[in-house]
Amino acid sequence: MNNLQNIINRQANVSRKWKQDLSTLTNFLNIPFPYIPLFIEDISTYIKLNDYENNRIKTIQTIGRIIRKDNIDMIVDLKKEVLFPICLKPLHKTDIFFKTPRNNKNNIWEYNAVRVYGTLIRKEFQIVLGISAIFEVTDINNCQNIFRILGLLARTEYRQIPTSKEVNKLFKEQWEEQKRLKLNCTPRNETESGPSIEVESKKVVEAGPGNCPFDTRHMFTKFKLTGKSFRVTSYNILANVYASTSYSKENLFPYCPEYALEIDYRKQLILKELIGFNSDIICLQEVDNKIYDNDLMPTLSLLQYKRHNTEMPKFALIWSKIENEKVKKRFLQRNTTAQVIALRSRERPLDVLVIANTHLYFHPDADHIRLLQAYYILLYIENLIEKIKQEHPQSNVSILLCGDFNSVPECGIYQLMTENYIPENYKDWSSNLEETVKDVSLTYNVRFASACGTPIYTNYTPEFSGCLDYIFYEKNKLEVEQVIPLPNDEELALYVGLPSIVLPSDHISLCADLKWIT
């Protein structure tokens, strides 16, 4: 028993070092925001443990029943098996009190509590707590070895702190009876009003996923950029047709809850992520027309984003050098599509940015096809720049090429973009032996660099993880000011793969701040 107690004491000391950045909760510090206790159904359910011993927010220690097992707010955020203390106490509804930064009520503990010690273990796709010992605690205020649990289950601002009876009523209304959302609109002016119109949601309002990895990334993008600087986001948002089928749910993404694969769920996360980046330029791939027209564009247009969509013409430039008819047939069966637009800076009228957004062919044995697709897009951009310079000879034209290239850095596209040359014997030409391309070399006279470098992965699934997405910029015209950090290994591995209940695509968005050099 003494050995166990020594372990417990050491872990208690370690726990004091586990701090959570509360900057995302800053707005809660100045409003009467009630924290409803965290209710836990059983110890083998997802729970999230946080240490708030820095006293910036007074939290409550409580135990009861979890309302939603799949709520991400209750997922544990530790990577390894760790021995740690957690405080448990059976509660009745009459024991529930709100505690807020402005509420000094501290009489939540009316009975003896128990202290439970256990080990985090992984079972299939869940991390659960295995109980190893239970001790009774009679003096809760003087117990230093107890982990504090904060349950952010209520996210509504209240102007008044409810009484205990009001708490019970509110608890019943908000968490035992899920509600639909109703919007009532009455048109009126200074003298008259018209008939009211109501619309009600078809589905009940459900709890969201809580904090997502992109919420942390948004700490680096709180403000829009000005002057010589601009922010770019590139994101393959995973088309609904690839996520919602039975095959996808059973074979491609079996680790992801089905509701989190539904586009009605994912689009909310996509919009939240995009809006929080405060980007000047957004390049998306795998965008369904319905989602674009009904959700993305109406929302983003309110933030002054405008639509642009240009279909590339047929490929017909280096055709005479390719003799393999199988290559030509396969290439022509694939749409080489890109979105290309030239934008003039409002603050620096002579600066013109040519932006291309693309999504290249995905097949594993098609490195040669992707290489030809990328080369064609570069030639198209080159022709466009020549026209711009003819019409506006004083312009300073820079190139930005974004997208899902379906090509890792070891393949030819990255070399073409950064080294400007692909020799005739390059390995990509024979990625499919029946379609080997012979006697073709590629050169290009603009040197690019990858704004986000070459991350270990921008696509993350159990079957494949690698860097497929890039923001290429013209190296001698632009420079990188900031790369928005990508989610770390722990955040991704916690859900086995992408998509997940906190990240809506199998790809990770790229975001970087660039500026003109001169």
Query: Taking a C-beta distance cutoff of 8 angstroms, is the pair 309, 339 a contact?
Result: yes
Catalytic, out of 280, 367, 404, 428: 404
The alpha-carbon radius of gyration of the chain (Å, integer) is: 28
Two tokens at 121? 């273990």
- Does the annotation count 404 as an active-site position? yes
Q: Which amino acid is at 39?
A: F
Token digits for 470?
């890039």
Please list, residue by residue across 380-419, b when 16 or more beta carbons sit within 10 angstroms of its beta carbon and e when fewer do. Answer: bbeebbeebeeeeeebebbbbbbbbbbbbbebbbbbbbee
Domain annotation for the chain: domains and CATH numbers: 38-136 (2.40.50), 143-161+176-204 (no CATH), 213-516 (3.60.10.10)
Task: For residue 117, give the H/E element and its range.
Answer: strand 113-123
Cα 472 versus chain centre, distance: 21
Per-residue model confidence as pLDDT tens for the chain (518 residues): 444 445 434 433 433 332 222 222 222 223 222 222 222 333 322 333 333 333 232 222 223 222 223 333 333 333 333 333 333 333 333 333 333 333 333 333 223 333 333 344 444 444 444 434 334 334 434 333 333 222 222 222 222 333 334 433 433 444 334 677 888 888 888 888 888 888 888 877 776 787 899 999 999 999 999 888 999 999 999 999 999 889 999 889 998 989 899 999 999 999 999 999 999 999 999 988 888 888 888 877 767 665 544 333 323 333 333 343 444 344 445 555 778 888 888 788 888 899 999 999 888 899 998 999 999 899 989 988 998 899 889 989 999 999 999 999 999 999 999 999 999 999 999 988 888 888 889 999 999 999 999 999 999 999 899 999 999 999 999 999 999 999 988 888 888 899 999 999 999 999 999 999 97
Instruction: Say how many C-beta atoms besides its own lie within 10 A of residue 163's C-beta.
Output: 11
Separation CA 327–CA 331 (nearest Å): 6
At residue 448, the 3 state secondary structure works out as strand
Instruction: Count CB-CB contacts under 10 A for residue 302.
Output: 9
Question: From CA 60, how far away is CA 67, in angstroms rounded?
Answer: 17
For residue 499, is the peptide bond before it cis, meaning its omega torsion is within 30 degrees of 0? yes
The residue to which tokens 């600066």 are assigned: 351
How many whole angstroms separate alpha carbon 306 and alpha carbon 281?
10
Structure-token pair, residue 213: 């990895």
* Cα 169 from Cα 146, distance rounded (Å): 30
Q: Are strands 396-404 and 351-359 parallel, antiparallel or unpaired?
A: parallel
Per-residue three-class SS string for 223-242: CCCCCCEEEEEEEECCCHHH
- Here the tokens at position 505 are 């695509």
Tokens linked to 13:
């000391």
Record the tokens describing residue 34, joined without a space: 């009630």
Question: Token pair for residue 460?
Answer: 């993350």
Distance CA 404, CA 226 (A): 27
| Global confidence as pTM | 0.63
Residues 6 or more apart whose CB falls under 8 angstroms from that of 393 comprise none
User: What tokens appear for 446 in the block?
Assistant: 């603009």
Could you tell me whether strands 465-466 and 197-204 are parallel, antiparallel, or unpaired per DSSP bridges?
unpaired
